[in-house]
Amino acid sequence: MTTDPQADTGTVQNISDAIHENLDKVSRFAQREDEKRTAAHRAIERVRVFFGEPAFYRAFCAQACQKHDAA
């Protein structure tokens, strides 16, 4: 059983084109959604990201332990 390599290449190209098209659509959607965010929403996200950082959590826990040990 032999397959035509030219047919396989065309199929791969079609799939590749479809993937790129979908990625472009997702990228445009994400950009539109990002443009809808207000300045307040972006500020809240920055604060949320900061407080979600492991370094902040470790510093917070270390500070809490220091205060607990001093008391």
* 20, 50: one domain: no
pLDDT at 52: 81
How many independent structural domains does the chain possess? 2
> What burial letters (b/e) apply to 54-64, b meaning 16+ CB within 10 Å?
eeeeeeeeeee
- Say yes or no: 70 and 43 in one domain: yes
Residue 29 is predicted with a pLDDT of: 97
pLDDT digits (tens, 9 = 90+) for 7-50: 566 677 888 999 999 999 999 999 999 999 999 999 988 888 88
Q: What is the pLDDT of residue 71?
A: 63
Are residues 3 and 28 part of one domain? yes
Tell me which residue range forms the domain holding 43: 39-71
Q: Say yes or no: 68 and 52 in one domain.
A: yes
Instruction: Name the residue with tokens 């990201």.
Output: 49
* Residue 1 in this model has a pLDDT that exceeds 70: no
Looking at the fold, whether 1 and 32 belong to one and the same domain comes out as yes
Q: Are residues 28 and 45 in the same domain?
A: no
